Structure 1
Amino acid sequence: MDKNAITLQIEKSLDRGIDQKIFPGGAVLLQRKGMSDITVYRGRTGYATDDEPITSDTLYDLASLTKVVVTLPLILLSVQHGKLSLTDSVVTHLPEFGEGPGKSEKEQIKIIHLLTHSSGLPAWRPFFIKGHGKREYLRYIADESLIYKPGENVVYSDLGFMLLGFVLEEIWGEELDALAKRLIFRPSGMTRTTYLPLEQASLKECVIAPAEEGSPFEWNMAKQFLMQLDAVQDPRAEEWRAALDAFSWRKGVIRGHVHDCNAYHGMGGVSGHAGLFSSLEDLSLYMRIWTSADAPVRMDPILRAFAIRAQTGQSVPRRAVGWEASAPGGELAQIAHGCTGGDLLSEQAFGHSGFTGTSIWSDPVRGATLITLTNRVHPVVNTNMNAWRRSHHNVVFGTIQPVGTS
């Protein structure tokens, strides 16, 4: 299929999401091996008539893409610099992590377990209603009991990537945002990628796509968490209830501040699990680390190949190192669970999604990388995003033949 036909398919896909009010606008970039890039911008940043159209200057809250754009490459570069090993116990670098319940099991948690979401840590906790800062968060995570033994299962965990961010700051003696700028963004030419974008004078001309009005989605998550504590008569329930009742939630539309409450309230906007803002073109520069042999940031090719390979056996969704891995041949269990990259990916494909409506998927067999940025959390979280995302990936990847075929 020629470039114009593929561009039309991408435009139709974005327009379908806009028409269904899943998001007000979006940006898509498709990179194909040996061919020119395709870039599409559709819609506006919001639903008001005076909201700006999406352009190359539009910045998006990447949400969990932070995990693979900041934390993952920094950990791998740390391995190359001899500052840690993927088999290191987490408590080697963060002794406080082993001071809570289940010390012997937590001492078995390795860096690779955090990267593959197989540590046994729970997925999410509303720590932000209790306190803030690295030391308090480290204590809160240490106080959590594991929900399974390390390596036994896969549960996607923000807590694990918070810990990885803490590890990075400890071993480098440098703040996470400064470290990312020095080792990844600046060498890659990523001038529009940052934490805390409102504090960056160089980005004052950029338009930032708005997020949710207030934080009703996480407010409901916090209430559900409290209900779970009540259901099992957890003695911590009263402490959590008092903290939730006293908490002051954000009002008005969130724009330029990270949507994720743990990152915003708890970590001051900078965390290993969320907080990063970027543009479509900057992310295309970043993905050269994973798809090109001559990227300015050099990733050891053996380490890179290891990082994009599935590591968690038959667990679904399958996890690579940091990345989500596709299922071989559209494996039924994976399709039933709903791979965020859709149904047409090869077994070599890898990717990740962000809660705000962002995603990156790359398929070496097709020689293609697809970057999609939307703000499906504006003005409320739209739960139809997952279905649209899978359809979008199917439509676009379905236009690209595997490399070497006609």
Structure 2
Amino acid sequence: MRLLVFLVLCITTNSLVYGQTPDPLLTADAQAQMKWVDSIYTGMTLDEKIGQLFMVQAFSNKDLRHENIISQMVTNNHIGGIIFSKGDPVSQAKFNNALQKAAKTPLLVGMDAEWGLSMRLDSTYAFPWNMTLGAIKDNKLVEKAGFNIGEHCKRLGVHFNFAPDIDININPKNPIIGNRSFGEDRENVTEKATAFMKGMHDAGVLSSAKHFPGHGDTDTDSHLALPTLDFNLKRLDSIELYPYKRLIKDGVSSVMVAHLNVPALQPEVGLPSSLSKHIITDILKDQMGFKGLIFTDALNMKGVANFSSPGDIDLAAFQAGNDILLISEDTPKAIDKLKEAYEAGAISEERLAHSVKKILKAKYKVGLNKLKPVELKNLVSDLNRPQDDVLYEKLIESAITVVKNKGDILPIRNLETKKIAYLKLGDDDGSDFLRGLQKYGKVHEVVGDNLNEVIEKLKAYNTVIIGFHRSNTSPWKSFNFTDKELVWLYEISRTNNVILDVFVRPYALLDLKTLENIEGLVVSYQNSPIAQDASAQIIFGAVQAQGVLPVSIGNGYVAGNGLNLSSLSRLGYAIPERVGMSSEKLNKIDAIAQKAVDGKMTPGIQLLVARKGKVIYNKNFGKHTYEPNAEPVKFNDMYDVASLTKILATLPLLMELEEKGAVTLDTKLSKILPDYANSNKKDITLKQMLSHYARLSPWIPFYFKTLDANKKPDPRYYRNESGGKFTVKVANELYMRADYQDSMQKIIKDTDLLKSLTYRYSDLPYFILKKYIENYYDKGLDELVQDHFYQSMGANHTTYNPSSIFSDINIVPSEIDDYYRYQKIQGYVHDMGAAMQGGVGGHAGIFSNANDVAKIMQTFLQKGFYGGKRYFKPETLDKFNTCFYCDQNNRRGIGFDKPQLGTSGPTCGCVSMSSFGHSGFTGTYAWADPDEEIVYVFLANRTFPSAGTNTLLKENIRTDIQQLIYEAIID
């Protein structure tokens, strides 16, 4: 009967024979390799040869007693390898160096590092799990993951990574594989595993395909019991064994054999596959032609340990065809058992040499013929590199999968119409996701103790984003919805437009009986901070969605499903190396910013740098004021940006009007404002005026004439309460006569022109344009910029008169005024002329944070396109960004400042001539460079407590930082 079964197995599994397969352990200098192998083997005693078959588990976080036990096994039992487990990299490196020094034959070092060394060690890098990688279409990225992990292993002196896991996870209830699998589709698993393996090999680290013959379709953990794969031969050959064929052909270094009961492959009832000669020798080695190393899975696992006693298990495993016995329960006893079998003739010299020489070939291949100790210097930093962060970001972004997009709810457009709520489900943190969402729009977190309370609160919103967050600390953590969460999700989605984003393995969605009422469904796979931020970027269209499901999730959604979403060209967020910048060099900015704060050039600073559409540096320094208990600067704090208002508010509105044909750059003042028809300014064109080449006075101190003899606000012009003619609020409890604004316009109109035509910076054009634009639209400038730009851009912290909307805790004060308003100026514009216009000036009055200013500057950089919307044409931006009077030694564009023409000017002198921007009296600065695709924003309140000397300018703080930005470019 047994012979018949064997013949059937041979016939049925004939498809496993892959012809001539390579020897994955041979090197290019095979002759030299084999000479070394033979010389080492010949010089070994029997004890030393048998010792090579054992790889013992070691920990770098245990005590000296443990270290002594392992050291004695190296010296006394001549073990051939170490598999390191828990600990930290420096301790492991020291321990490893000591063991290698003690070993007569260098040790082969292995680790389980499926998603990086962090699978076992602290202070090391965690790459995405295989299930996440399985969602990526671009296998080159998976190959790069294997390469980076391989580099980490090699740096730490690890020669064998027990990866990739090539189990095809068909069973969602699999308790031990799950996230460790690339998915349920055999082709996808095979392609991903091959790519991952190739990456490791290119890094010089050996691979291990596991868990042979396939651990993916079982709901039993082999650490605890012996799982059964009760499938026929045809099924096993077409699914479980399928990836091994390809990886063996492509040169996988080793195969790890699992502890499984596979009746179709092993006639003896209950014999673990790791002890089966038929499975290991007849099928894996002979029929499949595998010539690499064969490892047992850990021999202390209950799936095999329960089968027999220590020592006997090891002997059976070796006789079955395994080369390396991994984590024996009793290594000395096992060595004795194998020696007895050898001396009794149960193990031949040929059989022993076969395995030991393969082990020695592997040692030569990883360079153990020229052993070097692990270098301790910079070890931790070498295992946590910026290029690893770059890859992690790319992997996560490429994996995140949009499964459903009913009504094109994703990416979120038309922010001006959206009222968005965020609701967190799950027991882990979702704050990075919320912060990421809030970078793009007004997103409010809704919390409540009961469902009815939450549903009532959600009535105020037209879009609800639900994030499901469970622990990201290990791939085995619970990932399911609770019954309560399922009820909440069902009820909320019945009455709201819902985007559900799950930061767990996709199997969680199997708990949902229906997805009918969920408009948008996103699978983000992991709950890491980068995954949360990347998912927020995809939801708002800063990053395109391109992942596909690696497994089926029910409700008709199967492996391979995934919708592509294009980018809306909103600002994204990444690390500097992602866009060809150096983190190390950019971090030098910190010292200059801190110098400015410590030197009391400004109480605080917001700093932002973006390149190629990605914010890569965004930091805050100092506090709102110099008081010890003052508020530290936060990302959403708003600064009075002063003259940046010119390009952030007035100029975009004028660009629109120019595109409409309402004006041209050659339009004269007399045409747009008939009041000027009989003035000395009637023939001044917009081009001249906005290039500061129109003989206009630089500044008029309008407020002087409204002060009394004591230089205090004259009661004829001011009241402490609003009423009657006194309706223009210039500061807290201070109201000016509304009709004085007409007087200001008359003063401008009647003021003499400068005697000579030369470049002279002036605020007056923007007083004039404010009047024109507001007359044209019959609406205030403050309303216009919101309606035309800020709301749809998601510039939610950009506004005139922020005190009417925001708390003072989020508004940075700009001055303690002792010459006009006689109070701390906080939430009211610093500029006196703008204050006299109710805080809404064409030249000043906007408050913003660095993130919002960057959005507007990025819109300019993208020639008028942002967030899926075209605000103005590329040729319009080009026209306004032209220096029309450069030949007259005037560097200015139309409204925009431009780089210096000579030796002095507003920039570091290192920017391109196509760049543009502006600066502000309060210490603010914004600059965009199309050539390098750089946006730089510097916000400060250097005028607090008093304007005084502009030390920021004198010390070149802003331009020195700009210089460092350009020095940080690496490609």
Give the alignment's TM-score, normalised by structure 1: 0.82
Q: Which residue of 1 aligns with 2:777?
A: 172
Secondary structure (helix, strand or coil) at the match of 2:638 reads: strand
How far does residue 315 in structure 1 lie from its aligned partner after superposition? 4.5
Q: Which residue of 1 aligns with 2:895?
A: 322
For residue 53 of structure 1, what is the amino acid of its counterpart? P
Q: Which residue of 2 aligns with 1:80?
A: 659
Aligned residue among 898, 904, 913 for 1:347 = 913
1:156–1:91 distance in 2 versus 1, CA, 3 Å: same
C-alpha distance in 2 between matches for 1:12 and 1:257: 31
Matched, 1:68 2:643: no
Deviations 1:69-93 (A, max 9, x none): 0011110011122322221111112
- 1:63 and 1:356 in contact (8 A); partners too: yes
Aligned residue among 116, 130, 135 for 2:742 = 135
Deviations 1:156-203 (A, max 9, x none): 111111111111112222111111111111121111111111112xx2
Deviations 1:263-282 (A, max 9, x none): 11x21111101111011111
- 1:116 and 1:321 in contact (8 A); partners too: yes
C-alpha distance in 2 between matches for 1:385 and 1:36: 24
Matched, 1:384 2:951: yes
Q: Map residues 6-405 of structure 1 onto 2, 5 A cutoff.
A: 6-33=585-612, 35-100=614-679, 102=680, 106-130=681-705, 133-148=740-755, 152-200=757-805, 203-204=806-807, 207-216=810-819, 249-264=820-835, 266-292=836-862, 294-295=865-866, 296-316=869-889, 318-327=891-900, 331=901, 333=902, 335=903, 338-381=904-947, 382-386=949-953, 387-400=956-969
Q: CA-atom RMSD, angstroms?
A: 2.0
Of structures 1 and 2, the one with the larger relative CO (CA 8 A, separation 6+) is 1
How far does residue 134 in structure 1 lie from its aligned partner after superposition? 3.7
Secondary structure (helix, strand or coil) at the match of 1:29 reads: strand
**Sequence identity (%):** 28
1:370–1:315 distance in 2 versus 1, CA, 3 Å: farther
For residue 273 of structure 1, what is the amino acid of its counterpart? H
C-alpha distance in 2 between matches for 1:17 and 1:353: 17
- 1:28 and 1:371 in contact (8 A); partners too: yes
Deviations 1:352-404 (A, max 9, x none): 00000101011122221100101100112242121222222222233225xxx
How far does residue 297 in structure 1 lie from its aligned partner after superposition? 4.5
How far does residue 316 in structure 1 lie from its aligned partner after superposition? 4.9
C-alpha distance in 2 between matches for 1:34 and 1:252: 41
- 1:25 and 1:44 in contact (8 A); partners too: yes
- 1:3 and 1:38 in contact (8 A); partners too: no
Secondary structure (helix, strand or coil) at the match of 1:389 reads: helix
For residue 63 of structure 1, what is the amino acid of its counterpart? A
How many pairs does the alignment contain?
354
C-alpha distance in 2 between matches for 1:73 and 1:179: 10
C-alpha distance in 2 between matches for 1:98 and 1:285: 39
Deviations 1:139-158 (A, max 9, x none): 11111011146xx3221111
1:184–1:34 distance in 2 versus 1, CA, 3 Å: closer
- 2:586 and 2:965 in contact (8 A); partners too: no
Secondary structure (helix, strand or coil) at the match of 2:843 reads: coil
1:371–1:36 distance in 2 versus 1, CA, 3 Å: closer
C-alpha distance in 1 between matches for 2:838 and 2:597: 32
C-alpha distance in 1 between matches for 2:601 and 2:677: 43
For residue 191 of structure 1, what is the amino acid of its counterpart? N
How far does residue 15 in structure 1 lie from its aligned partner after superposition? 0.5
- 1:96 and 1:138 in contact (8 A); partners too: no
- 1:44 and 1:53 in contact (8 A); partners too: yes
Q: Which residue of 1 aligns with 2:75?
A: none
1:35–1:261 distance in 2 versus 1, CA, 3 Å: closer
Larger Rg: 2
- 2:612 and 2:934 in contact (8 A); partners too: yes
How far does residue 35 in structure 1 lie from its aligned partner after superposition? 4.8
Secondary structure (helix, strand or coil) at the match of 1:287 reads: helix
1:316–1:252 distance in 2 versus 1, CA, 3 Å: farther
C-alpha distance in 2 between matches for 1:22 and 1:170: 40
How far does residue 99 in structure 1 lie from its aligned partner after superposition? 3.8
1:212–1:133 distance in 2 versus 1, CA, 3 Å: same
Unaligned runs of 5+ in 2: 1-579, 707-738
- 1:60 and 1:209 in contact (8 A); partners too: yes
- 2:702 and 2:833 in contact (8 A); partners too: yes
Secondary structure (helix, strand or coil) at the match of 2:587 reads: helix
For residue 20 of structure 1, what is the amino acid of its counterpart? G
Secondary structure (helix, strand or coil) at the match of 2:886 reads: coil
Secondary structure (helix, strand or coil) at the match of 1:88 reads: coil
How far does residue 341 in structure 1 lie from its aligned partner after superposition? 1.8
C-alpha distance in 2 between matches for 1:273 and 1:159: 8
Q: Which residue of 1 aligns with 2:416?
A: none
C-alpha distance in 1 between matches for 2:613 and 2:654: 30
Unaligned runs of 5+ in 1: 217-248
